[in-house]
C-alpha cells in the first residue's frame, strides 16, 4: 500500500522531553535499546533515543527511514552519524526533520555532530542546555551530561536544528 504525503500532519517536536531523556540516560543505558559501545559507539543510538522521546514517531521506510525495534531490526539512520544527518535534513515523510544551521540558531533538543578524529563526522550529541551563549551537551560513547561543547577537540562541527515532526493522520 502506498501512502500519500498529504496524509502527514506536522506536530511540534517536544524539546523538553528530548532533553529530559538525554539528561536521565546520559551516564547510563536504557535497557530497552542495544548498547552499541562494543561495535563502534553508542552516541547516535543515544541521540536517536532522545529524538524519539521528543518526536514519538518513527519512520519505517526500509533502508532510508529512522526506526529501532531491535539490534537486527533498525534503520541505518538510527545508529549512524552520517545516515542520521542525511535522514534529518532530507526527511519528507514521518518522523523528525530539520536543517543544518549555525550555532547561533540552535536550541536545547537539537543535535550537534563532530569530526573528532580526522575529517569524517563520527560523534553525535544532544544539546541539553544553552546558558550565557555557551552550549552544553549530553552524549554516549564519550559519556557526558551537561558537558560544555567547548571542551571537545574537533576538526569539524555541524548543528542540526529540529524544525518539527510529521506523523500520519
Query: What's the pLDDT band for 1 if we cut at 50, 70, 90?
Result: very low
Is the pLDDT reported for residue 2 higher than 50?
no
Q: pLDDT digits over 109-127, tens only?
A: 999 999 998 889 999 999 9
Residues with Cβ within 8 Å of residue 9, at least 6 apart in sequence? 166, 167, 168, 169
CATH of residue 111:
3.90.1720
CA 124, 156, 108, 164 dihedral sign is negative
DSSP readout, 115-147? Answer: E-SSSS--EEEEEEEEETTEEEEEETTTTEEEE
Q: How many domains does the chain have?
A: 1
Q: Taking the model in full, what pTM does it have?
A: 0.94
Structural domain containing residue 135: 5-168
Q: pLDDT digits over 124-160, tens only?
A: 999 999 999 999 999 999 899 999 999 999 999 999 9
Is residue 71 within 8 Å of residue 107, measured between CB atoms? no
Amino acid at each position: 500500500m502506498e501512502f500519500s504525503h498529504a496524509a502527514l500532519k506536522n506536530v511540534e517536536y517536544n524539546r523538553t522531553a528530548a532533553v529530559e531523556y538525554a539528561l536521565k540516560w546520559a551516564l547510563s543505558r536504557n535497557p530497552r535499546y542495544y548498547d552499541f559501545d562494543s561495535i563502534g559507539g553508542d552516541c547516535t543510538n543515544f541521540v536517536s533515543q532522545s529524538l524519539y522521546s521528543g518526536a514519538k514517531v518513527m519512520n519505517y521506510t526500509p533502508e532510508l527511514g529512522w526506526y529501532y525495534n531491535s539490534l537486527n531490526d533498525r534503520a541505518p539512520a538510527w545508529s549512524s552519524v552520517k545516515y542520521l544527518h542525511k535522514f534529518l535534513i532530507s526527511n519528507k515523510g514521518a518522523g523528525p526533520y530539520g536543517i543544518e544551521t549555525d550555532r547561533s540558531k540552535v536550541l536545547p533538543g537539537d543535535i550537534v555532530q563532530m569530526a573528532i578524529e580526522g575529517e569524517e563526522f563520527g560523534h553525535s550529541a544532544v544539546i541539553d542546555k544553552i546558558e550565557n551563549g555557551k552550549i552544553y551537551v549530553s552524549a554516549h560513547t564519550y559519556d557526558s551530561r551537561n558537558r560544555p561543547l567547548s571542551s571537545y577537540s574537533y576538526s569539524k562541527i555541524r548543528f542540526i536544528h529540529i524544525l518539527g515532526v510529521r506523523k500520519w493522520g
